[in-house]
């Protein structure tokens, strides 16, 4: 049979035009007619590593002509073809000792479960509780155990007598003697019988002496020892007989702890569970080599659970295992909330960190939230947000981030947003802008501290929010200017610091905006684009200026959170979602592929999500459960802090209504008032007078330079269909005439007439 064999070859050094040796990596790919063409060097796609005919790790034979990159080959040729190793000579064990040492990974000196005081305490507590529980359990049942032993002692006595009889009569040698008799081995038989007779004599004697001693002790002991000694001896004898009479399948004492609480995680259990996941790569590898699943460290206690560092077979990724968390829990025989597989971010994708908790995370009691006491905090410092699967607090600083919280309904998204806003409320300097677009009042506990607050998505709520956001964008612009102009020693990184935020004259206090069901804004038919534009700006430039925007949605997709916003968010908290798209929308592109999967959470995993961006690694975290009354109590304390600091403002201080009305409904009359009797006026002059008229509303507009003032007024008038015009006027500072942007009185009056007519 004629076959076409195309093999990647490395020519003999002599054949090479440049005369280089094998290290030159010039390989040729002979075609069917035998003419060579340039091939790819080893290590490219045609690399033979892993080929069955190419044992990796075997020494290289440099003179060999074939490099094993078969494209087409028949079986016979494959069988005849010599095995050609491809690795460089020597193995890692041949490297010098310094190199070998450098390649090793240092295991922690202090085991994980003793690394911090709280973990050591937790471990000691776990051991203590375990044995205290077992002791208590058995102590309560001791009378029952005694009764059982007493009831089983007669049977034990019978068994003891039978065993003694067999021992004395040398019953164990009987089959051998019988065999010798049957085989006609008279001599051997007689020898065995003689041995048996001697043994029986000795044993009978021992039995007689033992029994006589026993009877004597039984008669004498009660007379010479206190009564309790007799009782104890009697009980011990009873217990021994009872134990002898106990069938193997009916132990006297039951198990104090069963199931996940005390069951140790062993490598066998892990391998068995991983093999039951239905992952082809694992099954194939394990069928060839039962030890294909490795462990890079011993399985240890880690907090209130066990940690296994697993090395999956080649080609299998941790993400594949994470995806099957429920099956893994089934294989391990543990509740789903106890089983937490994670990718090892410091290793390769095939390394899995499997943490199996003693208790279901969704049911385990969370330690008391340190912020519940309502003490003032500094938002620039990391604050406890939730606990990880090991029950440790996960902390992060809310400043300098923009955040997204996403989940399917009823998983704890609003609770999470409310918790973040409560954290912000505990820094008296922080100004809160809270928007509950679902309108059910979930964020109402924050109203007593909120600078701006709205629940609902009616037209006026949207107007209110838009006005606020426009003002916030201006505030951000003002802040960038303030920061830019600050001396470098005060603001070395060109961003707000805690010290700067405390200087009231600079007005750089933290501003935290929380929006629940933010999709309502972005999908708004009229103002959606503007909401998107402002929020994008706030997400991008806000964090450095001390403005934090946190958006929560139950429908994480490109419409609910526009991509420019989701791309720039730093803080990401993803509770249970239903698919890859939603997962990646909240956690970022490729998160699902990299094993960060919030789809793994069960419906009972409320408040549990993947936290990303604000901690070193993506962490599974359970937020703090703060119900409505709890949130109100914390907000009341936060309000007291603000009142004491003289920092209660806006809605919470009862100053909100005026702002709303003036900003939405009174702009046009205000402009007319500011223009006085003039038919036309420069925009910058109008803005100055507006600021005098209502400093709370227009004050920030007037802090800009002339051109920006004009632009600001133009943007504010645009929604009313009014454009600014060129106006000739005299500059009061210089007394010179100039042509600048301004407002025509007729345009304003026409807009008012039209609006009132509507
Ligand atoms: N950290 C938590 N710990 C325990 N349970 C929680 C936690 N957070 C939320 N829950 C529970 O989850 C339920 C739903 O929470 P929440 O109202 O925040 O969900 P949601 O995702 O905002 O729902 P929707 O989209 O319908 O508004 C709460 O009633 C609460 O019982």
Where exactly are the structural domains of the chain?
1-104, 117-244, 259-357, 384-650, 666-757
**Nearest atom, ligand 1, residue 608 CA:** 1
Domain 259-357 identical in fold to domain 384-650: no
The alpha helices in 601-726, defined as continuous H runs, are: 628-645, 656-664, 667-675, 683-693, 695-698, 706-717
Element (H, E) at 59: none
Distance 415 CA to ligand 1 centre (A): 5
691 Cβ closer than 6 Å to some ligand 1 atom: no
CA of 604 to the centre of ligand 1 (A): 10
- Virtual CA dihedral for 418, 422, 424, 425, nearest 10 degrees? 130
Tell which atom from ligand 1 comes closest to the C-alpha of 386: 1
Residue pair 54/83 in contact by the 8 Å Cβ criterion? yes
Ligand 1 binding pocket includes 439 (Cβ within 6 Å): no
Q: How far is the CA of 613 from the centre of ligand 1 (A)?
A: 22
Give the integer Cα–Cα distance in Å for 518 and 400.
Answer: 20
Interval 353-407: pLDDT, tens: 999 998 888 888 888 999 999 999 999 999 999 999 888 899 999 999 999 999 9
Burial 125-159 (b: 16+ CB within 10 A, else e): ebeeeeeeeeeeeeeeeeeebeebbeebbeebbee
| Ligand 1 pocket test target in 607, 624, 626 with most atoms within 8 Å of CB | 607
Pocket test for ligand 1, best of 369, 412, 624 (most atoms within 8 A of CB): 412
Say what the pLDDT of residue 753 is. 84
Three-state SS at 2: coil
Secondary structure string (H, E, C) spanning 453-515:
EEECCCHHHHHHHHHHHHHHHHHHHHHHHHHHHCCCCCCCCCCCCHHHHHCHHHCCCCEEEEE
The secondary element (H helix, E strand) that includes residue 451 is strand 450-455
Cα 698 from chain centre: 45
Give the number of the atom of ligand 1 that is nearest the alpha carbon of residue 409: 25
Say whether domain 259-357 belongs to CATH 3.10.310: no
Q: Quick check: CB of 409 below 6 Å from ligand 1?
A: yes
HEC profile for 322-337?
Answer: HHCHHHHHHHHCCCHH
Q: Provide φ and ψ at 621, rounded to 5°.
A: -130, 140
Specify the residue with its C-alpha closest to ligand 1, atom 24. Answer: 409
Assign residue 657 a region: left if phi > 0, alpha if psi is -120 to 50, beta otherwise?
alpha
625 CB under 6 A from ligand 1?
yes
Task: Please give the distance, rounded to the nearest whole angstrom, from the Cα atom of residue 369 to the centre of ligand 1.
Answer: 17
Which atom of ligand 1 is nearest the CA belonging to 442?
Answer: 17
Would you list which residues are annotated within the binding site? Answer: 407-414
Distance 118 CA to ligand 1 centre (A): 29
Give the pLDDT score at 116.
Answer: 76
Q: What is the Å distance from ligand 1's center to 383 Cα?
A: 21
Q: At 393, is the secondary structure helix, strand, or coil?
A: strand
Residues 200, 194: contact at Cβ < 8 Å? no
Give the closest residue (by CA) to ligand 1 atom 23: 410
Which parts of the chain sit beneath pLDDT 50? 1-79, 260, 262, 657-663
Residue closest via CA to ligand 1's atom 28 equals 412
Closest residue by Cα to atom 20, ligand 1, is 410
Alpha carbon of 411 to ligand 1 centroid (Å): 5
Check residue 151 and give its pLDDT.
Answer: 92
How high is the pLDDT of residue 341? 93
Q: Report the pLDDT value the prediction gives residue 531, as an integer from 0 to 100.
A: 94
Q: Which pLDDT score is estimated for 672?
A: 87
ipTM of predicted complex: 0.97
Q: Which two tokens stand for residue 715?
A: 């943007």
- The CATH class, in words, for 666-757 is mainly alpha
Q: Which CATH code, of 3.40.50.1100, 3.40.1390.20, 3.40.50.300, 3.30.1490.100, is assigned to 384-650?
A: 3.40.50.300
SS3 282: helix
Relative to the CA of 622, which ligand 1 atom is closest? 1
Note the pLDDT of residue 656: 66
Atom of ligand 1 nearest to the CA of 552: 22
The rounded Å distance from CA 607 to ligand 1 centre is 6
Q: Could you tell me if 443 and 421 are in contact, meaning their C-beta atoms sit under 8 angstroms apart?
A: yes
Burial 680-702 (b: 16+ CB within 10 A, else e): bbbbbbbbbbbbeebeebbebbb
Regarding the beta carbon of 418 and ligand 1, being less than 6 Å apart is answered: no
Distance CA 469, CA 511 (A): 12
Q: How far is the CA of 627 from the centre of ligand 1 (A)?
A: 9
Q: Is the CB of 553 under 6 A from ligand 1?
A: no
Please work out whether the CB of residue 414 comes within 6 Å of at least one atom of ligand 1: yes
Regarding the beta carbon of 313 and ligand 1, being less than 6 Å apart is answered: no
Among 369, 393, 410, 626, name the best residue to mutate to test ligand 1's pocket (greatest count of ligand atoms within 8 A of Cβ): 410
**Among 405, 415, 553, 620, residue to substitute to test ligand 1 (most atoms within 8 Å of Cβ):** 415
Say how many Å lie between the CA of residue 227 and the centre of ligand 1. Answer: 66
pLDDT of residue 41: 36
Expressed in angstroms and rounded, the spacing between residue 434 Cα and the centre of ligand 1 is 18
Question: φ, ψ for residue 518 (rounded to 5)?
Answer: -65, -15
d(CA 606, ligand 1 centre) in Å: 6
> What are the residues whose beta carbons fall under 8 Å from the beta carbon of 208, sequence distance 6 or more?
none
- pLDDT in the model for residue 24: 34
Q: Are residues 396 and 615 in contact, defined by beta-carbon separation less than 8 angstroms? A: yes
User: Which residues contribute to the annotated binding site for ATP?
Assistant: 407-414
Q: Is 477 a pocket residue for ligand 1 (Cβ < 6 Å)? A: no
Ligand 1 centroid to residue 623 C-alpha, Å: 10
């Amino acid at each position: 049979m004629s076959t076409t064999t195309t093999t990647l070859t490395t020519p003999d050094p002599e054949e090479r035009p440049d005369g280089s040796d094998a290290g030159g990596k010039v390989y040729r790919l002979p075609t069917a007619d035998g003419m060579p063409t340039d091939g790819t060097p080893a290590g490219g796609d045609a690399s033979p590593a892993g080929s069955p005919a190419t044992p990796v790790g075997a020494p290289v034979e440099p003179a060999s002509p074939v490099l094993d990159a078969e494209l087409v080959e028949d079986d016979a040729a494959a069988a005849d073809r010599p095995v050609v190793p491809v690795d460089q000579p020597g193995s890692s064990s041949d490297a010098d000792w310094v190199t070998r040492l450098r390649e090793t990974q240092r295991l922690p000196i202090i085991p994980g479960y003793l690394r911090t005081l709280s973990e050591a305490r937790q471990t000691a507590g776990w051991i203590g509780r375990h044995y205290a529980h077992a002791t208590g359990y058995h102590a309560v049942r001791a009378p029952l155990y005694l009764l059982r032993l007493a009831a089983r002692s007669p049977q034990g006595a019978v068994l003891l007598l039978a065993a003694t009889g067999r021992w004395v009569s040398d019953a164990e040698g009987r089959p051998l003697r019988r065999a010798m008799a049957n085989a006609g081995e008279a001599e051997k038989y007689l020898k065995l019988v003689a041995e048996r007779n001697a043994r029986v004599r000795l044993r009978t004697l021992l039995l007689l002496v033992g029994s006589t001693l026993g009877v004597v002790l039984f008669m004498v002991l009660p007379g010479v020892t206190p009564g309790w000694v007799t009782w104890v001896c009697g009980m011990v004898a009873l217990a021994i007989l009872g134990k002898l009479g106990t069938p193997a399948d009916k132990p006297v004492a039951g198990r104090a702890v069963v199931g996940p609480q005390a069951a140790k995680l062993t490598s066998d259990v892990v391998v068995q569970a991983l093999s039951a996941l239905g992952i082809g790569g694992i099954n194939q590898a394990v069928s060839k080599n039962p030890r294909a699943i490795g462990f890079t460290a011993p399985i240890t206690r880690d907090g209130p659970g066990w940690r296994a560092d697993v090395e999956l077979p080649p080609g299998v990724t941790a993400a594949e295992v994470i995806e099957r968390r429920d099956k893994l829990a089934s294989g391990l025989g543990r509740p789903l909330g106890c089983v937490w597989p994670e990718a090892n971010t410091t290793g390769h994708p095939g390394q899995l960190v499997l943490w199996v908790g003693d208790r279901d995370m969704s049911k385990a009691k969370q330690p008391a939230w340190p912020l519940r006491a309502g003490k003032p905090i500094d938002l620039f410092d990391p604050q406890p947000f939730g606990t990880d699967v090991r029950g440790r607090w996960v902390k992060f600083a809310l400043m300098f981030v923009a955040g997204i919280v996403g989940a399917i309904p009823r998983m704890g998204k609003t609770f999470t947003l409310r918790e973040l806003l409560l954290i912000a409320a505990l820094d008296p300097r922080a100004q809160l802008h809270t928007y509950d677009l679902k309108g059910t009042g979930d964020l109402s506990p924050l109203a007593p501290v909120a600078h701006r607050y709205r629940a609902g998505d009616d037209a006026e709520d949207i107007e209110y929010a838009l006005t606020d956001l426009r003002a916030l964008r201006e505030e951000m612009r003002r802040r960038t200017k303030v920061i830019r102009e600050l001396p470098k020693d005060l603001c070395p990184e060109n961003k707000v610091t805690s010290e700067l935020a405390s200087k009231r004259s600079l007005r750089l206090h933290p501003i935290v905006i929380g929006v629940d069901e933010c999709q309502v804004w972005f999908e708004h038919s009229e103002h959606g684009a503007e909401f998107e534009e402002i929020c994008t700006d706030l997400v991008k430039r806000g964090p450095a200026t001390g403005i934090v925007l946190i958006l929560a949605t139950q429908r994480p997709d490109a419409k609910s959170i526009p991509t420019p916003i989701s791309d720039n968010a730093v803080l990401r908290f993803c509770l249970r979602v239903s698919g890859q798209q939603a997962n990646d929308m909240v956690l970022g592109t490729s998160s699902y592929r990299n094993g960060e999967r919030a789809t793994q959470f069960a419906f009972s995993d409320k408040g549990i999500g993947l936290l990303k961006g604000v901690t070193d690694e993506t962490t599974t975290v359970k937020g703090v459960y703060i119900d409505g009354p709890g949130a109100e109590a914390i907000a009341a304390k936060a309000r007291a802090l603000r009142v004491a600091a003289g920092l209660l403002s806006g809605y919470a201080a009862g100053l909100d209504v005026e702002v709303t009305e003036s900003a939405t409904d009174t702009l046009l009359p205000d402009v007319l008032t500011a223009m006085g009797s003039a038919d036309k006026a420069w925009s910058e002059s109008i803005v100055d007078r507006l600021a005098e008229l209502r400093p709370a509303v227009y004050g920030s507009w007037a802090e800009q330079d002339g051109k920006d003032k004009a632009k600001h007024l133009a943007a504010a008038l645009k929604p009313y269909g009014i454009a600014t015009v060129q106006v000739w006027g005299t500059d009061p500072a210089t007394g010179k005439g100039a042509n600048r942007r301004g407002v025509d009185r007729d345009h304003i009056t026409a807009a008012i007439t039209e609006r009132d007519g509507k």
